[in-house]
Chain A
Amino acid sequence: ALRGTLRGTLRGTRPPPALRRGLAKAAGPRSVRQLREAEEAAPVFQYAGKAAKRKDRVFVWGFSYSGALGVPSFVRPDAGWKKPRRIQPTPYRLETAEKISSAACGYGFTLLSSSTPDIIKVWGMGLNKDSQLGFQRSRRDRTKGYEYVLEPCPIPLPLEKPQQTRVLQVSCGRAHSLILTDSEGVFTMGNNSYGQCGRKVVEDETYSESHLIHQLKEFDSRVVQVVCGQDHSLFRTKKGAVYACGWGADGQTGLGHYNITSVPTKLRGDIAGVNIIQVSSYGDCCLAVSEEGDVFGWGNSEYLQLASVTETTQVNVPRHLPFKIGKIKEAACGGTGNIVLTEEGNVFVWGYGILGKGPKLIETAVPEMIPPSLFGWSDFNPDVRVAHVRCGLSHFAALTNRGELFVWGKNLRGCLGTGRMEDQYFPWRVTVPGEVVDVACGVDHMVSMVKSFI
């Protein structure tokens, strides 16, 4: 006001600008240039480098109260809010110390093995009532052993060169297990009431809390695959011969008689002189695949597994199964059904039970093909092929070359891993967060070895 009166005579003068504070002008919408500059100035994060390796993981699912899944909190919750989980219906990650190269599911127990030169190469979890997981010393009482092992515990093997020998493969049966090494033969543990461990049957032997691990070395050449049936064991050697020992009442030892065998003996019959490249068994029936793509079977045939060659329900000598389905690459036997994979990538099933072709197909003696469209093949994806087939006691699993796992069969205590408790009559995808490399099927649980995506 003072200024106004002093300069009242002057016209056209603007009042001097008001004093401004040091704060910047109002924010307002940023211009494109400002946005671009802010973007360029933002820091760049790196989550994975160029040489990032894919991680190896193990996923388990199925019945957990036997401890076979290896997660102790499912059986004995370690936090107040956790509840005991009887069944794990979807794949659950199992943390392992080393990369697991081979896994096998038995009847209520699991073996995991790694091809590491460390001293501990094999871990076991689940039922141990017959020392199928070796002797697990109890921490409460040093003289006793654990009957149930709830998390993967190392199995000490009596190796001569522990830091050089590598464990190639493990296999589990009903109450015994076999461990195959590259230079020290086969180690067997567990129940031996029928000679399935390859040693002489001792009358009234107590198998629980036993320290005995038997080593088998005398074969015609190096053993390259071990397979456990329910109460018998099969060994395949590099020269293509098959040896068997154990319970033989269904002829599953294939040695021409129905008695038990306690020393691994070479099989004859139709596979004499044939180069066998794969053997398979889980129940009481056995299948072998030769180099030329033929399949041979012996053992139990009550469920029409071998009905294409014989009417008898027990076959104790390996017989060639004359199927005209193409060159066979892989075979797997379950309790009542069998599955084979041909070179073209087609899957054939036969036997009894839920075979995978809808609820109408319950039994067949002749192999039936499962249409590839059920495994993800379509006009959009014509390269999808089944790469491996596996069999549990009453369910089947197939792995595609894309790393997807398909399961079907009886969903015993959630063993399929689909998240539901119902049986699955045709192949169904299991959602596993990774590319499935291998899967092991048991009676009521499954273990899968998975590689992460990136």
Chain B
Amino acid sequence: LNAASGRVPRQHVRFLPAPGDSGDTGLVAMRVPVLADHPLVRGPRFRRLKIGAGHRLDAKASGVFVLGIGHGNKLLTDLYNCHLTRVYTVGGLFGKATDDFSDTGKLVEKTTFDHVTREKLERILAVIQGTNHKALLMYSNIDMKTQEAYELAVKGLIRPMGKSPPIITGIRCLQFAPPEFQLEVHCLHETQQYLRKIVHEIGLELKSSAVCTQVRRTRDGVFTLDDALLRTQWNLQSIQKAIWDCQLKVKMELEKTLS
């Protein structure tokens, strides 16, 4: 970063003795670069970088992880206050129950799962969505008796804009091949361990048991997998390009929500 050409040094007008004529005391106005902006005087432009992290992603999960650099940290706080949803792809396995709800934990119980069908799973998912939708309306702290609450509810814009327990705004089954299954979860204010717990509870509700094998965040607010940089792309040019591409999206989202 420091090797890149920095800011163009400022110029100012100084009255310097005229070149060439020796002994002549005339001063000529000349535009010269400010000495204070000289690279040897100033030193390297970046000594430290302030990097902040967006929503947490724990060690066993993978996916989109938003970081802010410098001024971006303030934008991160604003994005947090927008309370946008995040989308996860959660993979699960029927037949086992472990103490930390993932497949690497200590085994608690093994159950049969041949009675589980896609239809039953989708019924349970519909119920989860229903109760979470109710929680969405309840934690949004809007008085339900007003006309504007009704209008927002019709448009589907009621959302908790403050602290709330984790809420799932949408959940559906992407793949079902017993014992494995994959869900797409849209949620708010969640932690990855909560998603693993949901997989465990789905197993319990289906009178079987389930553990979570994979949690992968595919979207965090406005940032999707397409904007994310792979491990091989963690170099300066890609990072700069990614920041440049996302600027417009972030600005529009902030304007829309916080206005």
Listed in ascending order, the chain A residues whose CB lies under 8 Å from chain B are 38-39, 42-50, 52, 357-360, 371, 373-374, 376, 378, 380-381, 402-404, 422-426, 428-429, 431, 435, 453-454
Q: A359-B146, A360-B147, A453-B120 are in contact. List 8 more A-B contacts (CB 8 A).
A: A45-B111, A48-B115, A373-B154, A374-B154, A376-B130, A428-B144, A429-B131, A454-B206
Contacts of A423 in B (CB 8 A): 145
Contact with A along B110-133 (1 / 0, CB 8 A): 111011000010011011011101
- Write out the residue numbers on chain A whose beta carbons fall within 8 Å of the beta carbon of B123: 402-403, 435, 453
The reply to whether B111 and A46 contact each other, CB–CB distance below 8 Å, is: yes
Q: Which of B78-134 contact A (CB under 8 A)?
A: 95-96, 107, 109-112, 114-115, 120, 123-124, 126-127, 129-131, 133-134
Q: For the complex, what is the distance from the CA of A426 to the CA of B143, rounded to whole Å?
A: 12
- Selected contact of A431 from candidates B114, B131, B151, B208, CB within 8 Å: B131
The minimal Cβ–Cβ distance linking A289 to chain B, given in whole angstroms, is: 27
In the bound complex, residues from chain A placing their C-beta under 8 Å from that of B109 are 42, 45
The verdict on B207 contacting chain A, using a C-beta distance below 8 Å, is yes
The interface residues of chain A lying within 8 Å CB-to-CB of B133 are 376, 429
Q: Which residues of chain A have C-beta atoms less than 8 A from B129's C-beta?
A: 376, 381
For B172, the chain A residues whose CB sits under 8 A away are 380
CA distance A425 to B147 in the complex (A): 9
* B170 sits at the interface (CB 8 A): yes
Q: What's the count of A-B pairs with C-beta under 8 Å?
A: 100
> 26 A-B pairs, CB-CB below 8 angstroms?
A42-B110, A44-B95, A44-B111, A44-B112, A45-B112, A47-B208, A48-B207, A52-B115, A358-B146, A358-B149, A358-B151, A360-B147, A371-B154, A373-B154, A376-B130, A378-B156, A380-B172, A380-B186, A381-B129, A422-B145, A424-B144, A426-B144, A426-B149, A431-B134, A453-B205, A454-B206
Take A453-B120, A454-B207 as given contacts and tell me if A422 and B144 are in contact as well, using a CB distance cutoff of 8 Å.
Answer: yes
B124, A453: Cβ atoms under 8 Å?
Answer: yes
Interchain CA distance A154-B143 in the complex, whole Å: 45
Chain A residues in 8 Å Cβ range of B176: none
Residues of chain A lying within 8 A (CB to CB) of residue B111 = 44-47
Measured between beta carbons, the chain A residues less than 8 angstroms from B124 are: 453
Given contacts A39-B107, A47-B207, A48-B207, contact A453 B145 (CB under 8 A): no
| Interface: B56 (CB within 8 A) | no
Inter-chain contacts of A39 with B (CB < 8 A): 96, 107, 110
- CA of A381 to CA of B130, assembled, Å: 11
Q: Say whether B147 contacts A38, CB under 8 Å.
A: no
Alpha-carbon separation in the docked complex, A360 to B207 (Å): 46
Task: Report which of B107, B114, B146, B149 forms a contact with A38, defined as CB distance below 8 A.
Answer: B107
The majority secondary structure among interface residues of chain A is loop
Give the docked Cα–Cα distance between A2 and B124 (Å).
77
CB-based contact B130/A426 at 8 Å: no
B153 within 8 A of A: yes
Residue of A nearest to B186 (CB): A380
Contacts of B145 in A (CB 8 A): 359, 422-423, 425
Closest A residue to B171 by CB, please name it.
A380
Give the shortest distance, in Å, between B170 (CB) and chain A (any CB). 4
Complex contacts, A46 vs chain B, CB 8 Å: 111-112
B155 at the interface (CB under 8 A from A): yes
Point out the residue from B144, B153, B206 that lies within 8 Å of A374, measured CB to CB.
Answer: B153
CB closest residue in chain B, given A50: B115
Picked from B134, B153, B170, the residue with its CB within 8 Å of the CB of A380 is B170
* CA–CA, A38 and B107, complex, Å: 9
Complex CA gap A38/B110 in Å reads 12
Task: Report whether A45 and B110 are in contact in the complex, using a CB–CB cutoff of 8 Å.
Answer: yes
Residue B194 is within 8 A (CB to CB) of chain A in the complex: no
- In the complex, the answer to whether B120 meets A454 with C-beta atoms within 8 Å is yes
Question: Closest Cβ of chain A: how far from B208's Cβ, in Å?
Answer: 7
Does B15 sit within 8 A of A, measured CB to CB? no
Q: Chain B: which residue is nearest A372 at the CB level?
A: B154
Residues of B within 8 A of A357 (CB): 150
CB of B134 within 8 A of CB of A429, answer yes
The 9 closest A-B pairs by CB, nearest first: A358-B150, A48-B207, A47-B207, A380-B170, A46-B112, A358-B147, A44-B110, A371-B154, A50-B115
A402 to B156, CA, bound (A): 19
What is the CB-to-nearest-CB distance from A446 to chain B, in angstroms, rounded to a whole number?
18
CB-nearest residue of chain B relative to A51? B115
* B residues near A43, Cβ cutoff 8 Å: 110
Cα of A358 to Cα of B143 in the assembled complex, Å: 12
A429 to B131, CA, bound (A): 8
Contact, CB under 8 Å: A49 / B126? no
Per-residue A-contact encoding for B151-172, CB less than 8 Å = 1, 0 else:
1011110000000000000101
